[in-house]
Amino acid sequence: MPIHHEILHLETDAPIRIYNLTPRITEVLEKTGVRNGQVLVFSRHTTTALAINEYEKRLLDDLEVYLKQLAPPDAKYRHNDLHLRDVPPDEPENAHSHLMAMTLSTSEVIPVVDGQLALGTWQSILFFELDGPRRRAVSVQVTGEL
């Protein structure tokens, strides 16, 4: 059974932003020729996340508000006591970003059926930037039968 691995790079442009990775992951899948199997999508950062849900502007706005209510960026966090930690001089105060990421997930597995991602009608693969803007990497591994 073939296994194909690829890293997608993203240049994010906001402190918190949600990106639709579905088209890029579909392109990776198409290159592999896998007809039936699965795609593993994995975020390689502690302040980003992944989810499968609807990519709709008003819902994305609601998600941002919801995450900021769960972990307000201006709240007091011990992780942000940078003077008590051994960190680089440009280390951001980003405890809220870590907490948001842990509330979500670092990976998603999507079935592949007849060469297509087996997503539901309104489902998209969403990447959450929670501490941007930054350069990010997402691993995509396709496994299955040709």
Structural domains of the chain in order of their starting residue, each with its CATH number: 3-73+94-145 (2.60.120.460)
Would you say the pTM of this structure is higher than 0.75? yes
The neighbour count for residue 130, using CB atoms within 10 Å, is 28
Residue environment code for 74-99, b if the CB has 16+ CB neighbours within 10 A, otherwise e: eeebeebeeeeeeeeeeeeebbbbbb
CA–CA distance, 140 with 40 (Å, rounded to integer): 6
For residue 1, name the pLDDT band (cuts at 50, 70, 90).
Answer: confident
pLDDT tens string 5-26: 999 999 999 999 999 999 999 9
